[in-house]
Structure 1
Amino acid sequence: MSGDDSRPVHIRREGLDPAAELLAAGALTEVTVGSGADAVTTWMATTHAVVRQVMGDHTRFSTRRRWDRRDEIGGEGIFRPRELVGNLMDYDPPEHTRLRQKLTPGFTLRKMQRLQPYIEQIVSERLDAMEQAGSPADLIELVANEVPGAVLCELIGVPRDDRSMFMQLCHAHLDPARSQKRRAAAGEAFSRYLLAMIARERKEPGEGLIGAVVAEYGDEATDEELRGFCVQVMLAGDDNISGMIGLGVLALLKHPDQIEAFRGDEQSAQRAVDELIRYLTVPYAPTPRIAKEDVTIGDQVVKKGESVICSLPAANRDPALVPDPERLDVTRESVSHVAFGHGVHHCLGAALARLELRTFYTMLWRRFPTLALADPGQENNFRLTTPAYGLTSLMVEW
């Protein structure tokens, strides 16, 4: 794959769309990731059927990365870096099954219903802040970058007085503008805080995710596993939802006839959210799958030890999934898109993401029915260095 963009083809975008060369790629294509001595040749899956086939086959494909040549592909291995302990994407069954079962109580329907009033509260507060800032205002700075972190803190049980500091550490750990040393220091402080919080929850479980797990399972999930899972939830959830909030508003303002869905009933709003998630698909790809044995896909053989990158945006723009996939149509019936993954690694927080987005978009257009782009002709600032696609700013007026 060639072009002026030096980034790997699976993360290239053209505005709200995946890059044309990504959509034109074959169902399973060999691509080069990295450059020079770090260049690696791997497979890239792009069609909905092949992406689901690979992600759904945990028997022949592993997500557990190998850090030592002595590690058996797909085995428990002899070494796992601390930062990956508790990261479900680095676990295969049965190890993955054991840990995921412990974490599921934090994502029940009852837990999501408990969160809804808080989601409404934090969205209302951020919309108040945007209104007070005056028109025009930056929706990314004032809303998109603030709502997801606050919701996730409530989910896992971070005390409200600690949340500002906690999110500062989280963002500092991710900030590509910081030196590696400063990012690592922020990451260590972030981890220390989580371990101290987990110790408190073991003594007196609260209503958040950590409290639910320790109350149900005690020490069957270790402190390091819980710490690692919280890190995964915060880093992935914050980035993905902030990306969806900003891009979703931009997409709807470019297609104003679609906004009406969020002024209707809950079912219409939920259908619209699912279509936005499919159409935008902010995560580029999940953890690469490594073949545990030779696997034939179509007329290609993925040999044991070779990896496959699954392009989620390309799979969700596959004409085999929906007719006219390049068109945003919030009246579509929901389809089996792969924005939340597929198989045993399907996102635990999918229901929360849908609830959060539906609440946000509905409240936004009730509060600002005349919302518009401050400068419709201005080029948008897309973020290119984060794990999920999004915007660095979005000036709106009302």
Structure 2
Amino acid sequence: MTDPLQDPQFFTDPYATFARLRGAAPVHKVPTGSTGRYSYVVTGYAEAREAFADPRLSKDTARFFTGQPSRRDLHPAVSRTMLATDPPQHTRLRRAAGPAFTPGPVARMRPYITEVVDALLGVWAPGDQVDLVAGLAVPLPVTVICQLLGVPADDRTMVARWSNELFAAGRPDRIDAASHSLAGYMADLVESKRREPDGGLLHSLLLRSAAGELTGDEVVSLAVLLLVAGHETTTNFIGNAVLALVRHPDALARLRDDPGLIPTVLDELLRFDSPIGIATFRHSTEALVIGGTEIPAGVPVLIAPGAANRDPARFPVPDQLDLTRDASAQLAFGHGIHRCLGAPLARAESEIVLTQLLTRFPGIELAVPSENLQWRRTRLMRGLESLPVLL
């Protein structure tokens, strides 16, 4: 059996594969590469929610790979982020970074987000054909997170390119090189904030470091993680949401006529085409049973929010975009202690984008056939390479 998660068709439309796997069992054993190894993929909603919260599924990649030969050269600031830790280390790191992404600070960012969206949309005019990914979905989130981190404006395009390279599926050389470039840059930026404090997010992390709550390496690693996670998911969310709406003219018309509904339908847009297809790495520390499937100790367990959000047992008629649906239980941002730290910021950015976009360009439509769209070749992220639209 070949790995169904590496089929080229999976990157274009993973939902048929997810449905097939879920139809056989909510937790499915699949081969990994051509080495005879295997993983367990969790595709059922109830099972995914359970797995997200199960402490027997560890995020500590160093623990899993200890003693295994590796040909990779990932920088430790990328390979050993908060996402690759368990409590109590994870608890301590999340406590350090968390305050910047609570509702209060996010609300204070809204005027800046609106200003950036205005500037990006201001160069477009009715009748234009534009790439919504390159012109809006990419620059907005990276600009916002770079502003929070204090990345100079002239460096942001370069930083975004390195971040994108970290997801170059099938190109470990490019991923490793990008990890060193990004980590080196962030180490220099952290040091500059140490010399010249600016009161920003990195400065707050440095204060925690001075108090003994974080090491210097942890400050750099958190900076890298916040940069990457702070825009990649939102970029995909914006692109996927706009595509879903232009493919469903009735839904688009409803939001165009009543933009006040946009905050209430974000969960359905997240559910319908989750920006995260398969969550980051976990492994079993002991034998366990999920969804009636026995999972031995010491194997990778891949939780698929993209599959769980289309589980008909939780969301009836899941392949239909239904703006009246209560999708607040969707798992696009995960669940439990590892739930996406930046979810409030991602929601704020997406809400402002959709409101401004539909207000300025109410007649937006897809400029190419759907089958011509190119998707990123990574099973972690679910996002478009480009989205040509006619305004």
Which bin holds the TM-score, normalised by the shorter protein? 0.7 to 0.9
Q: State the Cα distance separating 1:121 from its structure 2 match.
A: 1.6
Q: State the Cα distance separating 1:257 from its structure 2 match.
A: 1.5
Per the alignment, residue 199 of structure 1 pairs with 191
**Whole-angstrom CA distance in 1 between matches of 2:53 and 2:356:** 36
Moved more, 268-277 or 152-161: 152-161
Q: TM-score, normalised by structure 2?
A: 0.87
Aligned residues: 381
Q: Could you tell me which amino acid in structure 1 is paired with residue 27 of structure 2?
A: L
Per the alignment, residue 120 of structure 1 pairs with 114
Q: 1:167 aligns with which of 160, 164, 167?
A: 160
C-alpha contact (below 8 Å) 2:59/2:84 kept by paired residues = yes
Q: State the Cα distance separating 1:239 from its structure 2 match.
A: 2.5
Q: Deviations over 1:91-113 (max 9, x none)?
A: 00111111111111221222212
Per the alignment, residue 205 of structure 2 pairs with 213
Give the secondary structure class of the aligned counterpart of 2:315: coil
**Whole-angstrom CA distance in 1 between matches of 2:329 and 2:10:** 23
**Whole-angstrom CA distance in 1 between matches of 2:66 and 2:323:** 47
RMSD: 2.9
Per the alignment, residue 88 of structure 1 pairs with 82
Percentage of matched positions with identical amino acids: 33
C-alpha contact (below 8 Å) 1:239/1:386 kept by paired residues = no
Q: Could you tell me which amino acid in structure 1 is paired with residue 390 of structure 2?
A: E
Per the alignment, residue 41 of structure 2 pairs with 44
Q: State the Cα distance separating 1:228 from its structure 2 match.
A: 1.5
Q: 2:230 aligns with which of 229, 233, 237?
A: 237
**Whole-angstrom CA distance in 1 between matches of 2:292 and 2:178:** 47
Q: 1:104 aligns with which of 80, 98, 102?
A: 98
Q: State the Cα distance separating 1:123 from its structure 2 match.
A: 1.5
C-alpha contact (below 8 Å) 1:292/1:305 kept by paired residues = yes
**Cα distance change on mapping 1:171 and 1:49 into 2, 3 Å:** closer
Q: 2:307 aligns with which of 310, 314, 337?
A: 314
Per the alignment, residue 71 of structure 2 pairs with none
**Whole-angstrom CA distance in 2 between matches of 1:186 and 1:14:** 25
Q: TM-score, normalised by structure 1?
A: 0.86
Q: Deviations over 1:66-107 (max 9, x none)?
A: 22249xxxxxxxxx9614465122100111111111111221
**Cα distance change on mapping 1:206 and 1:369 into 2, 3 Å:** same
Q: Deviations over 1:5-64 (max 9, x none)?
A: 9644799255484534244341111111212x3x42121111111111111012x22111
**Cα distance change on mapping 1:364 and 1:192 into 2, 3 Å:** same
**Whole-angstrom CA distance in 2 between matches of 1:86 and 1:262:** 43
Per the alignment, residue 57 of structure 1 pairs with 54
**Cα distance change on mapping 1:205 and 1:355 into 2, 3 Å:** same
**Whole-angstrom CA distance in 1 between matches of 2:122 and 2:333:** 31
**Cα distance change on mapping 1:206 and 1:165 into 2, 3 Å:** same
**Whole-angstrom CA distance in 1 between matches of 2:177 and 2:386:** 27
Is residue 2:336 matched to residue 1:338? no
**Whole-angstrom CA distance in 1 between matches of 2:294 and 2:29:** 11
Q: Deviations over 1:153-207 (max 9, x none)?
A: 1122223343234334434555569882x65444323222211221232344434
C-alpha contact (below 8 Å) 2:285/2:298 kept by paired residues = yes
C-alpha contact (below 8 Å) 1:130/1:139 kept by paired residues = no
Moved more, 254-263 or 110-119: 254-263
Structure 2: runs of 5+ lacking an equivalent = 69-73
C-alpha contact (below 8 Å) 2:251/2:323 kept by paired residues = yes
Per the alignment, residue 293 of structure 2 pairs with 300
Q: Could you tell me which amino acid in structure 2 is paired with residue 287 of structure 1?
A: T
